[in-house]
Structure 1
Amino acid sequence: MELRTIRYFLAVAREENITRAAELLHVTQPTLSKQLKALEDELGKKLFMRHSFSIQLTEEGILLRKRAEDLIKMADKITTEFLALDDILGGDVYFGLAESYQIRCLAATIRRFKESYPDLHYHITSGDTEQVTEKLDKGIIDFAVLAQEPNTAKYHYLTFPHADLWGVVMPKDCLLVEKDSICVDDLFGLPLFCSEQGWSNDISKWCGNNMDKLHLEGSFRLSYNGSLFVKEGLGYLLTFEHLIDTSPDSGLTFRPLTPKLETKMYLIWKKYQVFTPIAERLLEMLKAELSE
C-alpha cells in the first residue's frame, strides 16, 4: 500500500466526487479510478458506494479513512522531522492539550522561547486524555497535557505548578447562586453536564457512595459547548474554574464544590522519545520554567 494511493483515497473521501478529486490531485479520472480499484482489491473490501454524481464511503471506507489520516500525519511528521534535524534554530513541534487555564503557562513559555527561536512553528490540537495519548502513542504529536496522573511506565512528565478547581457553572438567577459553595446534596436530581473523563474519575471520587443520586444529562469534551446548554436552562455544568466566562454580563455564575476538588495537570512525552533539536530545546525550557 503506497502513501500516494492513500493520499488519493483521502482526497476522494473528502470531495465525495472522483472528478473533483482528480482535478485537485492533477491526475486523470481514469488513473484515479484505477488506483482506487487497486486499493479495494488489495484490501479485499469495497470502500465506496458509487452513485450517479457522487460517491459515499462504506463502513470499511470510514474505518480506512481514520487510519489513513493518522498514517499521512505520521508520514508528514517524519518528513518534517528529518528536514529539521540539521536546523537547530527552527522546526515544528506538536502538542495535544486538555482544557485548563494552566495552558497559559505553556503559552507563556512558548512566547519566551520564540524570542530566541522565531522559526519555531507549533501545532495545537485539543482533546481529553484518551484522544491526546492516542495521538502521542502513534507519534502524531510530541507532547500532551493531561488532566489525570500519567502512566509512568510509558511516559516522562512534568507537573504544572497549580491545580484546577472544580465547581458548578449555573445561570446567575438560579437558587444555588446564593450558596458560597456546592455540596453533593445540592446536586441530587439536577440535570448535570460534565466531560466523560471528569464524571468517571474526579466527580465519582468526590461524591463517593452518592454517585447513583447524580444525573448526567449530557457529556461534552469542550466545556464551552456545555456552557451554552446551561445558558438555555437545560442543566448545570461541572467543570474547572476559569474555563467559562462568568463575568457579570455573561448570565452565568461559578461556585466551587465542597469539599474542595482539585485536579493536577501534567505535560507528558513518551519514554525513549527522540526529539528534533528545536523540540529538545523547548523541552529543556519547559523543565526549567514549570519547575519554578
Structure 2
Amino acid sequence: MELKTLQYFVRIAREESITRAANALHITQPTLSRQIKDLEKELNVKLFNRRNHNIQLTDEGVLLKNRAEALIEMSNKIQDEFKVIDKNIEGNVYIGCGETKGMEVIANIFNDIQDDYPNIHFHIYSGNADDIASRLDKGLLDFGILIQPVNLNKYKSLYLSTSDHWGIIAKKDDVLAQKSDVIKEDLVDKPLICSRQVLDTAIDKNDFTEWFGDLFNHLNIVGTFNLAYNAGWMVKAGLGYAITLDSIIDTSKESELTFIPLEPRLISKHNLVWRKDHTFSKAAQLFLDKAIDVCQ
C-alpha cells in the first residue's frame, strides 16, 4: 500500500466521484479506477458503494479514510520538518487548544518568536480535550493546551499563568440572572447543559464533580457539548442552563445571555502538555524553551 494510492483514495472520497477526482489529480479515470480496485483487492474489502451519479464510502471506507488522512497529515509534517533540518531555525509548530484564556499566553510567545524567527509558522487546531489528546498521541500535534480537570499521566506539562472561572450561562431575564453567584443547591433541580469532559468520573481529581459533592448524581443534565459556542444557542432556545467557563460565550451588553459564577468559586488552571517521547523539530523546541521561561 503506497501513500500516493491513499492520497488518491482520499481525493475520491472527498469528491464523491472518480471522474472529478481524476480531473483534480490530472490522471486518467481508468488509471484511478484501477488503483482503487487494486487497493480494495489488497485490503479484501469494498471501499465504495457505486451509484449512477456519485459514490459513497462503505463503513470500511470510512475507517480507511480516517486512517489515511492521519497518515497523509503525518507525512506532510515529516516533509516540512526535513525541508528545514539543515537550515537556521524555521518551520512549523503545531498546537491544539480548547476555548480558553490560556491561548493569550501562547499567542504572546508566538509574537516574541516571530520577531526573531519570521520563518517559523504556528498552526492552531481547536478541539476538546479528547480531540487534542488523540492528535498528540498520533504525533500530529507538538503541544496541547488542556483545561483542568484532565488526566496528565501520559504527558509532560507546564502550568500556564492563566485560569478560567466556572459558572452558568442563563438568559438575562431568568430568575437566576438576578443573583451575583449560584450555589449547588440552586442548580440541583434545574435543566443543565454540561461539557462532556467535566462529566468524566474516571479523572483522578475532578474538581467539578467534587464541587457538587453528593448532589452530583442528582443533577438534571439535559444536554452535553464539547465546545461551548453551541451551548449558548441551546440556552437561547430555552433548553436549560449551560455550565461552562467565563469569557467563552458572548455575554456582552448586546447579548441576551449572562454569566453567573459558581460559589464557592471553582477555578480551572491551564496546562501546556506534550508527549513524553515526542521528538521536537528545532522550531518546536524553541517554542518549548520560550514557554518554560515564561512559565517559571
**TM bracket (short chain):** over 0.9
Contact in 1 for aligned 2:95/2:143 (Cα 8 Å): yes
User: 228-237 or 261-270: which moved more?
Assistant: 228-237
Q: How does 1:195-274 map to 2 (within 5 A)?
A: 195-200=195-200, 201-274=206-279
Say whether residues 1:133 and 2:133 are aligned partners.
yes
Q: How does 1:109-128 map to 2 (within 5 A)?
A: 109-128=109-128
TM-score when normalising by structure 2: 0.94
**Residues 50-90 of structure 1: CA distance to partner in whole angstroms, max 9, x if unpaired?**
01111010011111111111111111111111112123332
Aligned to 1:278: 283
Q: How does 1:101-112 map to 2 (within 5 A)?
A: 101-112=101-112
Structure 2: gaps of 5 or more residues? 201-205
Aligned to 2:63: 63
User: 241-250 or 46-55: which moved more?
Assistant: 241-250
- Give the deviation of 1:49 after TM superposition: 0.3
**Residues 188-211 of structure 1: CA distance to partner in whole angstroms, max 9, x if unpaired?**
222211210023344322212112
Contact in 2 for aligned 1:149/1:266 (Cα 8 Å): no
Q: Counterpart of 1:49 in 2: which secondary structure?
A: strand
Tell me, in whole angstroms, the C-alpha distance in 2 between the residues paired with 1:148 and 1:224.
19
Q: Counterpart of 2:253 in 1: which secondary structure?
A: coil
Tell me, in whole angstroms, the C-alpha distance in 2 between the residues paired with 1:41 and 1:96.
37
- Give the deviation of 1:25 after TM superposition: 0.8
Tell me, in whole angstroms, the C-alpha distance in 2 between the residues paired with 1:7 and 1:217.
41
Amino acid in structure 2 at the alignment position of 1:63: L
Tell me, in whole angstroms, the C-alpha distance in 1 between the residues paired with 2:246 and 2:170.
12
Amino acid in structure 2 at the alignment position of 1:242: S
Amino acid in structure 1 at the alignment position of 2:265: K
Alpha-carbon RMSD across the aligned residues, in angstroms, is 1.5
Contact in 2 for aligned 1:94/1:123 (Cα 8 Å): yes
Q: How does 1:10-89 map to 2 (within 5 A)?
A: 10-89=10-89
Contact in 2 for aligned 1:150/1:266 (Cα 8 Å): no
**Residues 15-36 of structure 1: CA distance to partner in whole angstroms, max 9, x if unpaired?**
0000000001111100110010
Aligned to 2:180: 180
Tell me, in whole angstroms, the C-alpha distance in 2 between the residues paired with 1:63 and 1:30.
25
Structure 1: gaps of 5 or more residues? none
Aligned to 1:96: 96
- Give the deviation of 1:152 after TM superposition: 5.5
Tell me, in whole angstroms, the C-alpha distance in 2 between the residues paired with 1:29 and 1:126.
37
Structure-2 change in CA distance of 1:212 and 1:145 (3 Å): same
Contact in 1 for aligned 2:146/2:270 (Cα 8 Å): yes
